[in-house]
Amino acid sequence: MMLEGNMATLRQDFNNYLHQTPLCTCVVISPHTINFEKANGIKCMAIDNICGRIYGCDEPISHREMMRPSSKVPVIGMCDEHKERMIRHECCPGCGTFCSGGNILVCIKNDDCPHRFHRDCMVLGGQLSECPHCGGDTTSVREVNLTPNMDKDMLMILAGKDPVKMKMKTFLQTR
């Protein structure tokens, strides 16, 4: 009986700990830095995931600070574009790749900054009922088929508008 009570308390404490820790670290600068004197010409370490295909960035690293989307993945040095995208929560906290295309999940709990992540990473991470960035429930999560460089279209989709109809409307108005 005594052991069962201690195990229940231990489970409750562990669950409380899991829910108190920050889910993503997309806006946190790591204490690790890159020494440009020793690592001259090092390239961006970010990886873009487009429809399940992996693409590395070929841009040079432009700042010493390193970042990561969660404590589950290693810190990386990035170019300016990927650093900006990390801060906008476009990097999946589960696998550490940038959600640049294909079917992804987007949390719209924060209208100013939608959070991107992969369905598989959500399932494997055991977070079936919450956003891995902010902890928002699944009522805030939408599945989006994202093509590269379609940020404006994604904003229309999240606002409940059809991007094809909106483009046609804009085209007709400018004729």
How far apart are alpha carbons 132 and 32 in whole angstroms? 23
* pLDDT for position 35: 76
Q: How far is Cα 159 from Cα 162, in angstroms, rounded to an integer?
A: 9
Quick one: pLDDT at residue 42?
A: 86
pTM higher than the cut 0.75? no
Q: What does the pLDDT read at residue 45?
A: 92
For residues 45 and 48, what is the distance between their CA atoms, to the nearest angstrom? 10
Give the pLDDT of residue 44. 92
- What does the pLDDT profile of the chain (175 residues) look like in tens digits? 344 556 666 566 555 544 444 478 888 888 877 776 666 778 999 999 988 889 999 899 888 888 999 888 899 999 999 999 999 999 999 899 999 888 888 888 877 778 888 888 876 656 566 788 887 777 878 888 877 666 565 555 545 555 555 555 555 555 5
DSSP notation for 130-159: B-TTT--BGGGEEEEEEPTT-HHHHHHHHT
Cβ neighbours of 57 (radius 10 Å): 18
Tell me the two tokens of residue 139.
């009522």
| Residue 3: predicted pLDDT | 46
